[in-house]
Amino acid sequence: MVVGYDMLWRNSTTDGLYGSGFTLLTNTNKVGGARVGSEVSLDVRWQFNEFLQLGAILAQFQSGPAITNAGGKDMTFGVLFAKLKF
């Protein structure tokens, strides 16, 4: 089990924030605020056998000014996964 805490900042207030596929998130290059946000996460993994690993990740993201000034908000997200090795 791993508990993590990350603080995210952008290098310059003129930098944009990008999503998957390097798509610019709307208005993030036009708003002030260098702090993107902070995230607390919990990562739990279980090695079932030598071939199968099961896991879950739960995270809470708290938006900073770079997100909220562009209309974004806080969010909680989670994922369940299985890793098969052969």
Q: Do 79 and 56 meet the contact criterion of CB atoms below 8 Å apart?
A: yes
Higher pLDDT: 25 or 9? It is 9
- Phi/psi of residue 71, each to 5°? 95, 5
pTM for the model stands at 0.77
Question: What pLDDT does residue 15 have?
Answer: 86
Full strand arrangement of the beta sheet holding 52-63: 2-9, 35-47, 52-63, 75-84
Q: How confident is the model at residue 49 (pLDDT cuts 50, 70, 90)?
A: very high
The mean-pLDDT minimum among 6-10, 25-29, 64-68, 76-80 falls in 25-29
